[in-house]
Amino acid sequence: MNEIIEEIIIEEGSEIIRVENLRRHFKVGDETVKALRGVSFTIRKGEFVTIMGTSGSGKSTLLNILGCLDTPTSGEYILDGLSVQSMSRNRRAVTRNRKIGFVFQNYNLLPKTTALENVELPLLYNPEVTAKERRERAVKALEAVGLQERIYHKSNQMSGGQQQRVAIARALVNDPVIILADEATGNLDTRTSFSILTLFQELHDRGSTIIFVTHNPELADYSSRNIVLRDGKIITDTINPSPLSAKEAFEALPKDTD
């Protein structure tokens, strides 16, 4: 069955991520915590993958490795044709800067800083981008997340949903090959969660490749593929040929009246 799935995906696009037999062990005192115990999969351009699992199943550990923040204890990781294990610390930083967009659970915006400046931040670490281009791209990214009216608002003057939108714009601004979101809706109420999910679906429709980590099983219906982890292993990896529309779900939700 897996082979059939692979063939369908190949038609969708080229390989962005390939991991093979990924293991990650943590030494805690005398014990070894095996957070990942041999994970293998391939993600192709244009996929919207949700990764699910209970707390402690290794989702964040996996995402940190995919995001080049961490290196596996063993196994292979190829990102956009590049082998990540063989990279130096600096090389990985540059790779994060050019190829990856991160969205965190707690937004992680710079305090007392405008939305525009927050979104410009990744481009500040890319010397090839001029000040003018940086600004244009940041404005475009903010437009893409629907915050064109709020580019000069400070991060602490915005609601959680708006802050997460800024964070998503920041993840988009460097035109990454993949967007990695770790519990991106974890801090938000249901309504706002669905509006953020809607945004991710829109980005996906426009061609972004997304990995969306969540412990909420409901959200699997809204992605094109769902991987479930348990105790550091993949237990299911299923294609969802007809994802639900988050927009419709959002509109169906009762509006806040108070």
Partner 1 sequence: MNLINLLKIAFKALSNNKLRCFLTMLGIIIGVASVITMLAIGQGSKNSIRDQISEMGSNMIMIFPGNMQRGGVRQSSDNMETLKVEDYKALSTVPGVAAVSPSVQSSGQLVNGNNNYPSSVYGINSDYLDIRKLKVKDGSMFTDHDVKAAAKVCILGKTVVDNLFPDGTDPVGRVIRFGKIPMTVIGVLESKGTNSMGMDQDDIVLAPYTTVMKRILAIDHIQGIFASAVNEDDTEATISRITEVLRSNHKITEGSENDFQIRSQQELSEMMNSTSDMMTILLACIAGISLLVGGIGIMNIMYVSVTERTREIGLRMAIGARGIDILSQFLIEAVIISVTGGIVGIILGCLATWLVTAIAQWPVDIRMYSVGVSFLVCTITGIFFGWYPARKASNLDPIEAIRYE
Ligand X SMILES: Nc1ncnc2c1ncn2[C@@H]1O[C@H](COP(=O)(O)OP(=O)(O)O)[C@@H](O)[C@H]1O
Euclidean distance between CA atoms 23 and 62, whole angstroms: 9
- Residues with Cβ < 8 Å from 169, sequence gap 6 or more? 115, 119, 138, 141, 142, 144, 145, 147
136 lies in the binding site for partner 1 (CB under 8 A): no
Cα separation of the two ends of the chain: 50
Angle at 180 between CA 176 and CA 183, to 5 degrees: 150
The nearer residue to partner 1, 70 or 231, going by C-beta atoms, is: 70
- Residues with Cβ < 8 Å from 159, sequence gap 6 or more? 192
33 lies in the binding site for ligand X (CB under 6 A): yes
The nearer residue to partner 1, 142 or 220, going by C-beta atoms, is: 142
Touching ligand X, residues 192-251 (CB under 6 A)? none
64 lies in the binding site for partner 1 (CB under 8 A): yes
Q: Which stretch in 103-111, 187-195, 208-216, 225-233 sits in contact with partner 1 by CB under 8 A?
A: 103-111
SS3 43: strand
Between strands 48-52 and 31-44, the pairing is unpaired
- Residues with Cβ < 8 Å from 142, sequence gap 6 or more? 115, 116, 119, 148, 150, 151, 166, 169
Q: Which stretch in 54-62, 125-133, 139-147, 216-224 sits in contact with ligand X by CB under 6 A?
A: 54-62
Q: Which residue from 7, 30, 31, 89 is in contact with partner 1, where contact means CB under 8 A?
A: 89
Q: Which residue from 35, 142, 184, 211 is in contact with ligand X, where contact means CB under 6 A?
A: 35
26 lies in the binding site for ligand X (CB under 6 A): yes
Euclidean distance between CA atoms 135 and 116, whole angstroms: 8
The nearer residue to ligand X, 51 or 151, going by C-beta atoms, is: 51
Q: Which residue from 5, 12, 81, 125 is in contact with partner 1, where contact means CB under 8 A?
A: 125
Residue ranges in the chain assigned as alpha helix (H): 2-12, 59-66, 89-99, 115-124, 131-144, 160-172, 190-205, 246-252
Q: Which stretch in 108-116, 140-148, 228-236, 250-258 sits in contact with partner 1 by CB under 8 A?
A: 108-116
Residues at the site binding ligand X, with contacts judged by CB under 6 A: 26, 28, 33, 35, 53, 55-61
Interface with partner 1 by CB under 8 A: which residues? 64, 67, 69-70, 89-90, 93-94, 96-98, 102, 104, 108, 110-113, 117, 121-122, 124-127, 170, 174
Residues that bind Mg ion (CB under 5 A): 60
